[in-house]
Amino acid sequence: MKFLNTMLVGSLVILSGSALAESYEVQMLNTGADGVMVFEPAVLSINPGDSVTFKATNPGHNSESMQGMMPEGAEGWKGGMGQDVTVTFDQDGVYVYQCAPHLMMAMVGVIKVGSGPNLEAIKAAATDKKAAFMMAQDRLDGYLNQL
């Protein structure tokens, strides 16, 4: 009976933890507050276990993690063109993501999960990544400075 009670309490703790997770939505837009080819909101601060749905509000966009721009060991994602994709973030850290066809237009966004312990490493790596931007070259720096 003690084992059964322990299992019941453990299950309730696990269920209550997942019930506390939040869900967020980021829109993929042709035009928004930060100009053309943007994610809105472009900067999010969330907790481990929270989910973000990247909503294909305008056609011709995707959301995918940028290689080398997330916590060590974190799993990346790659949404299909014009498709919504939902990602659950379990690992603390800063994640930078992109719309692959519009990377040259700096269509990027940033998510800080928990305390974001890798922020300085991401800022350093951003210098190289920005070389691919043909416009809005200061957009990523501006987003990272909001964290």
pLDDT digits (tens, 9 = 90+) for 3-30: 444 444 444 444 444 568 999 999 999 9
| Superfamily holding 21-145 | Cupredoxins -  blue copper proteins (2.60.40.420)
pLDDT digits (tens, 9 = 90+) for 118-133: 999 999 999 999 999 9
Return all residues near 53 (Cβ < 8 A) that are at least 6 apart: 23, 24, 25, 26, 84, 85, 86
pLDDT of residue 77 exceeding 70:
yes
In angstroms, rounded to a whole number, what is the distance separating the alpha carbons of residues 52 and 92? 15
**Domain segments of the chain: what residues?**
21-145
pLDDT digits (tens, 9 = 90+) for 92-107: 999 999 999 999 999 9
